[in-house]
């Protein structure tokens, strides 16, 4: 953990130096206004300073928790609480839920100052935050209630599967998480997301007609087209699609519509998103995540009964949830390496989706839209190549514009 922190802090320092550069990258000179560049630079530096503090506090807390064996102490105390309220602490599911409830309270307390500062100081200072403190609290309470509703049955199922899994445990765990992922992908946009935002059908007009025309030309089974009130919380913009098989939906943030000056720019962004669908990027990414999850569960089955592993973290017994937590800690370097590889693939997918939109004739509009989104979101204009290679799932704006302008760029069928 400490070695990873040192390595990633080195990358953060490189990025911070890049952010402090007083001039735009040459390809963006004359493309991005000086006023937007200054605002972007100030915003990025504010976030960078905040990130240094947040990461330092996080590694300090995590190291302290491990070094002073807080986890076994907290596990023991949660069992005592269960007993004191008249429940059976020998029931691992009940004991685990009490432990996780306490961990959630701790997480909320330690994360709250950072979340408040990020939202009401940094985001507000640069004109992005639109939330009131009451809306912030309401969202936080809703998130806690959702965790209380969805968490216990999921945790209970995982513990039960591990208890009965036997030699096929990895397959059973993966199967459960696979079904759960499909379920969450189904219910999240229909049930959970509307708890936090309002989704309204995109009004009739040129924009709706153009998007429906584009979807039909690509045989995209567009079922519904929504606008979400992202502006109630932030002025950042986005667009996404979801749904299975013949039941696809596209969602536009109202901020995206406000920031683009004409319909063609918005349609070019949708063309890029449809490129991901047409080129099966979503399917490939989902399959890759499922494969990695299966391998992760396979690794867990190899160490879940390791008495030495539990004892080295201060545990006398071998709780299932603790085994999962310990295993996650031990494979942190591998997880970061896999994340780096997935980012490489993701950036390649972004170039392919841009090329797809370009082949549909949207290159000029997409260039304008990308510049506007970069400006309006005050995204970093100068990026360190090592930092972006390690962290970014999307290529920097300079690289995307160069690819769109290259007449010899590879065409996607």
Catalytic residue among 254, 354, 375, 384, which?
354
**What are the phi and psi torsion angles at 251 (to 5°)?**
-120, 125
Q: Which residue has the tokens 């995540």?
A: 289
> Mind listing the pLDDT tens digit for each residue in 356-371?
999 999 999 999 889 8
**Is 276 annotated as contributing to ligand binding?**
yes
What predicted TM-score, i.e. pTM, was given to this entire model? 0.86
**CATH architecture for residues 199-259:** 2-Layer Sandwich (3.30)
How many other C-beta atoms are found inside a 10 Å radius of the C-beta of residue 193? 15
State residue 127's pLDDT score.
Answer: 85
Helix axis angle for 363-376 and 397-405, nearest 10°, is: 170
Closest CA to 107 of 60, 51, 48, 58: 58
**Is 316 annotated as contributing to ligand binding?**
no
What Rg do the C-alpha atoms of the chain give, in angstroms?
24
State residue 247's pLDDT score.
Answer: 74
State residue 412's pLDDT score.
Answer: 45
Q: Please, are residues 90 and 342 in contact by the beta-carbon 8 Å criterion? A: no
Per the annotation, the verdict on 80 as an active-site residue is no
State residue 90's pLDDT score.
Answer: 86
Domain boundaries in the chain? 199-259
Q: Please, are residues 362 and 355 in contact by the beta-carbon 8 Å criterion? A: no
Q: Which two tokens stand for residue 275?
A: 């490129």
Per the annotation, the verdict on 90 as an active-site residue is no
**Is 209 annotated as contributing to ligand binding?**
no
Q: Which residues of the chain have pLDDT under 50?
A: 410-413
Catalytic residue among 12, 273, 376, 399, which?
273
């Amino acid at each position: 953990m400490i070695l990873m922190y040192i390595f990633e802090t080195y990358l953060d320092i490189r990025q911070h130096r890049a952010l402090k550069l007083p001039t735009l990258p040459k390809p963006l000179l004359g493309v991005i206004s000086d006023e937007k560049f200054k605002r972007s630079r100030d915003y990025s530096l504010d976030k960078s300073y905040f990130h240094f503090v947040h990461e330092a506090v996080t590694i300090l807390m995590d190291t302290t928790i491990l070094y002073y064996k807080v986890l076994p102490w907290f596990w023991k105390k949660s069992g005592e609480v269960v007993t004191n309220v008249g429940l059976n602490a020998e029931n691992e599911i009940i004991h685990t839920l009490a432990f996780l409830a306490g961990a959630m309270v701790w997480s909320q307390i330690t994360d709250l100052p950072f979340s408040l500062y990020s939202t009401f100081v940094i985001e507000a200072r640069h004109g992005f935050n639109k939330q009131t403190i009451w809306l912030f609290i309401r969202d936080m309470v809703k998130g806690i209630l959702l965790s209380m509703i969805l968490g216990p049955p999921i945790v209970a199922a995982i513990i039960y599967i591990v208890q009965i899994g036997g030699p096929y445990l990895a397959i059973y765990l993966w199967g459960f998480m696979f079904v759960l992922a499909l379920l969450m992908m189904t219910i999240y946009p229909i049930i959970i997301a509307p708890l936090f935002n309002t989704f309204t059908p995109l009004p009739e007009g040129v924009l709706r007609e153009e998007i429906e025309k584009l979807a039909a030309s690509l045989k995209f089974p567009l079922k519904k087209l929504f606008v979400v009130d992202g502006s109630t919380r932030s002025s950042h913009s986005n667009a996404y699609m979801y749904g299975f098989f013949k039941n696809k939906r596209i969602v536009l943030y109202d901020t995206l519509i406000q920031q683009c000056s004409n319909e063609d720019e918005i349609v070019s962004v949708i063309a890029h998103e449809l490129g991901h669908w047409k080129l099966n990027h979503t399917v490939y990414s989902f399959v890759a995540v499922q494969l990695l999850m299966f391998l992760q569960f396979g690794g867990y089955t190899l160490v879940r009964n390791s008495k030495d592993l539990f004892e080295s973290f201060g545990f006398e017994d071998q709780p299932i949830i603790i085994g999962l937590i310990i295993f996650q800690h031990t494979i942190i370097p591998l997880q970061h390496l896999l994340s780096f590889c997935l980012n490489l693939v993701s950036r390649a997918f972004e170039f392919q989706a841009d090329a797809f939109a370009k082949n549909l004739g949207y290159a000029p509009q997409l260039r304008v839209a990308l510049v506007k989104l970069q400006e309006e979101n005050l995204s970093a204009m100068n990026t360190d190549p090592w930092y972006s290679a390690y962290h970014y799932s999307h290529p920097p704006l300079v690289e995307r514009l160069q690819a769109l302008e290259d007449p010899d760029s590879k065409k996607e069928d």
